[in-house]
Structure 1
Amino acid sequence: MEPAVQTQAQPKVKRGKRSPVDIVIHLVLALLTIATILPFYNVLLMSFSNSVAVSKQLIYLVPTVVDLSAYHYIIQEPRFLKALLVTVFVTVVGTAVNLTVTLTGAYVLSKTGYPGRRAVMALIIFTMFFNGGLIPYYLTMKNLHLINSLLVMVLPVAVNTFYLIICIAFFRTIPAALEESAKIDGANDIQILVRVVLPVAKPMIATIALFYAVDRWNEWWNGVLFMTNVNLLPLQALLRELLTNYAQVLSSINANISLQNTDLHPEMLKMAVVVVSALPIACLYPFLQKYFTKGVMIGSIKG
C-alpha cells in the first residue's frame, strides 16, 4: 500500500505595504499632475465663460456660466475659414515635404562611405547656430518669387536640423545585414529605403511627423513676414491679429454693433484663441501615442 502523498498548502503571497517613500513619491507625482492639468483646465473654462465671471475670479475652477461669445467672435471673422484652409494646406503639404527631405537626407548621411559626409554634416550643424539674418532671408525669398505664395511657409523650412540628426542616429542603429540581404536580392537604394528601412523606422517616423506637424500648424512668422495678401495669412497669424487688434475693433466707429454688445473680456478672447489654435493638432496625439514613447527615445542610444 503506497503511502498517501501529503501536499503542503502554498503560503499566500501577501502584498507588501507601501513604504513612506513610495507614498511621498505618489503624492508628489499627483501634485505635479494637477499642476500640469490645472492651467489647461482653467484656459478651457475661461474660454466658455463671460466677462462678469472672468472679472470676479482670476483662477476659474468651477464653471458658473457657458458663453460662446469668444468663439463666435473668432469664427464669424470672414477670413477665418480661409486661414484655416491655408493652415491645413501648410500642415499637410509641409509635413509631407519635411518627411521626404529629412528621411532621404538622413538615410544618405547615415552611410559612413558617403564621400564628403563630414563636410556636409558640418555645414548642416553650422545652420543650427548661425543664419544670414532677416534682410538677406527676405531678399532671397523675393528673388525666388515666393512672396504671397503658400510655398514660402513650406520650402524654406523643409528640414529641421535637429530632427535630421535624430533620423541619422536612428538609421545607424539598423543592422547592415538587412540592407545587404536586400542588395543580394537585387534591390536598389530607393527600394531598400522604402521597403526595408522605413517599415522598421515607423516609431521614429511617427514621432518626427508629429513634431513637424506641430511646427507647421503653428506657422505664423513666415506668413506675417511674406504675405501682403491678407487672405493668405495662416490661422495662427489671423488669431494673433484678432487678439492684438481686439480693442481697436470694438472701439472703432465702423465696428459691428453685435460685437460691441458682446462685451468680451480680453482674457476670454485670449483663452479661446489658445483653444482654437491648439485643439486640432492635439487631436493627433492619441493616434500617435503608441509610437511616441518609443520613437522619442530612438536614436539616443549609440550603436
Structure 2
Amino acid sequence: MAKSNESSLNRLQSISPVWNMLFSVFLILLGITIIVPLILVVIISFTSAESIAFNGYSFFPSSFTAYAYQNLAYTGTQLLNSYLITIFYAVAGTFLTLLVTSLFSFSIAQRKFRARRALTFFAFFTMLFSGGLVPAYIINVTYLHLNDTVWIFLLPGLISAWYAIMLRTFIQSSVPETLFESAKIDGANDLLVYFRIALPLMKAGLATIGLFVLVGKWNDWFTGMLYIKKASLVPLQTLLQRIQNNLQFIKQNADFASSPEGMEMLRNLPTESMRMAITVIVTLPILFVYPYFQRYFIQGITIGSVKG
C-alpha cells in the first residue's frame, strides 16, 4: 500500500505546473458557468414582473420583491400538493430501489451461489436490450393497472440492472468475503449476514447509487406525463412541464391568446418571477441532500485506497 501511495504521489509531482494552472483555470471557469445561472435564477425570483417586462433579466434589477414566494405560499395549492407527493415518490422510491437492488447485488456477489452467473447474465442482458416504451406502457396500464396510482413511480424502477452490477462490483472489491463465511460458520443465515454485516459495509456504495436514484426520481417528469391524470398525484416536474407547454402553446397561437379562453389561461399561469421561484424551490432539496451523501463518497474512496 505504501508503494502504491508513493507511486501516486510521484505521478502527481511529475505533472507540469503549467498544466496544473491551466486545469485549475478550466475548473474555475466551469464552476462559474454553473454557479452564475443559478445566481441569476435566484435574483429573478426576487424581481418584480414589471421590472422583468421593462428591463429583462438582470443581475441588478430596479426593484426587489418577495411577491413570487408570497403568492406561491397563498395560492400554490396544486404546487404544494405536487411538492409533497414528489418528496414521497423520491424518498420511498429511493429506499425501495436501494433495498431490492442491494439484496440482488449481495446474492450475485456470493461466489458460492450457484445461480449467480445466470442471474448476472439476465441482469446484463436487460442493459443491452430493453423491451421498449410501448410494451412497458401496455404492461403497466393494461395488465398491471398502475396508471393513476402511486405504484407507477415505485414498482417499475424497483431494481436497476446497472446499479445492481455496480454494487456487486463494490461488494466484491471492498467487502472481504471471509467476513460472510465467518458469520455463516457462527450460525448466521443469509438475511442476518446481509443486514448485520454486508449492509453497514455497503454504505459508501449505497450512498453513491442512492444519490443517483434520488436525483433521477426527483427530476422524473416523463412517468407522470404518461400515466398520471389525477391532479392529486401529479409530481412537481410534470406540473412544471405542463405549465411550460401551456406557455409555449399560447406564444405560438396569437389568436388563441387574444380569446377569452386564452386570457383566462394566461391569468392562471405563473409569472416569470414565480416560475423562477418554483425553480429555486425545486432545486433546494437536492442542494441540501448532497452534503449528507458527500461524506460517504469520501469514505468509499478511503476504502478503495486502503484495500489497494
TM bucket (normalised to shorter chain) is: 0.7 to 0.9
Q: RMSD of the alignment, in Å?
A: 3.5
Alignment of 1:141-220 (within 5 A): 141-142=140-141, 143-173=143-173, 174-220=175-221
Quickly say closer, same or farther: Cα 1:252–1:71, change in 2 above 3 A.
farther
* Cα deviation 1:203-229 (Å, max 9, x = unaligned): 222222222221222222111211122
Query: Partners of 1:199 and 1:134 in 2: how far apart?
Result: 37
Quickly say closer, same or farther: Cα 1:180–1:74, change in 2 above 3 A.
same
What's 1:103 paired with? 102
For structure 1, which segment, 270-279 or 221-230, has the greater mean C-alpha deviation from structure 2 after superposition? 270-279
What's 1:5 paired with? none
| Deviation of the 1:127 alpha carbon | 1.9
Percent of residue pairs identical: 34
* Cα deviation 1:15-35 (Å, max 9, x = unaligned): xxxx66655554444333323
| Deviation of the 1:104 alpha carbon | 0.2
For the pair 1:284 / 2:289, whether they are aligned, the reply is: yes
| Deviation of the 1:59 alpha carbon | 6.0
- Contact in 2 for aligned 1:224/1:237 (Cα 8 Å): yes
| Deviation of the 1:298 alpha carbon | 7.3
Identify the structure with the greater helix proportion. Answer: 2
Quickly say closer, same or farther: Cα 1:50–1:83, change in 2 above 3 A.
same
5+ unaligned residues in a row in structure 2: which ranges? 1-16, 251-255
What's 2:253 paired with? none
Which residue identity is paired with 1:189? Answer: D
Quickly say closer, same or farther: Cα 1:64–1:136, change in 2 above 3 A.
same
The size of the alignment, in residue pairs, is 284
Query: Partners of 2:301 and 2:276 in 1: how far apart?
Result: 29
5+ unaligned residues in a row in structure 1: which ranges? 1-18
Which residue identity is paired with 1:50? Answer: S
* Cα deviation 1:160-214 (Å, max 9, x = unaligned): 2222121101111211221122122211111111111111222222222222221
Quickly say closer, same or farther: Cα 1:72–1:117, change in 2 above 3 A.
same
What's 1:83 paired with? 82
> What TM-score comes out, normalization by structure 1 length?
0.79
Query: Partners of 1:138 and 1:22 in 2: how far apart?
Result: 50
For structure 1, which segment, 247-256 or 114-123, has the greater mean C-alpha deviation from structure 2 after superposition? 247-256
Query: Partners of 1:234 and 1:262 in 2: how far apart?
Result: 17
Give the secondary structure class of the aligned counterpart of 1:79: helix
Which residue identity is paired with 2:293? Answer: L
Query: Partners of 2:134 and 2:269 in 1: how far apart?
Result: 42
Query: Partners of 1:220 and 1:136 in 2: how far apart?
Result: 19
User: Which has the larger Rg?
Assistant: 1
| Deviation of the 1:277 alpha carbon | 1.9
Alignment of 1:1-303 (within 5 A): 23-54=21-52, 60-71=58-69, 74-75=72-73, 76-142=75-141, 143-173=143-173, 174-246=175-247, 248=250, 253=260, 260=267, 264-265=271-272, 268-295=273-300
What's 1:7 paired with? none
| Deviation of the 1:260 alpha carbon | 4.3
> What TM-score comes out, normalization by structure 2 length?
0.78
- Contact in 2 for aligned 1:204/1:296 (Cα 8 Å): no
Give the secondary structure class of the aligned counterpart of 2:128: coil
Give the secondary structure class of the aligned counterpart of 2:127: coil
Which residue identity is paired with 2:226? Answer: L
| Deviation of the 1:101 alpha carbon | 0.5
Which residue identity is paired with 1:37? Answer: I
What's 1:16 paired with? none
| Deviation of the 1:99 alpha carbon | 1.0
| Deviation of the 1:241 alpha carbon | 1.4
Give the secondary structure class of the aligned counterpart of 2:220: coil
Quickly say closer, same or farther: Cα 1:299–1:83, change in 2 above 3 A.
farther
Give the secondary structure class of the aligned counterpart of 2:129: coil
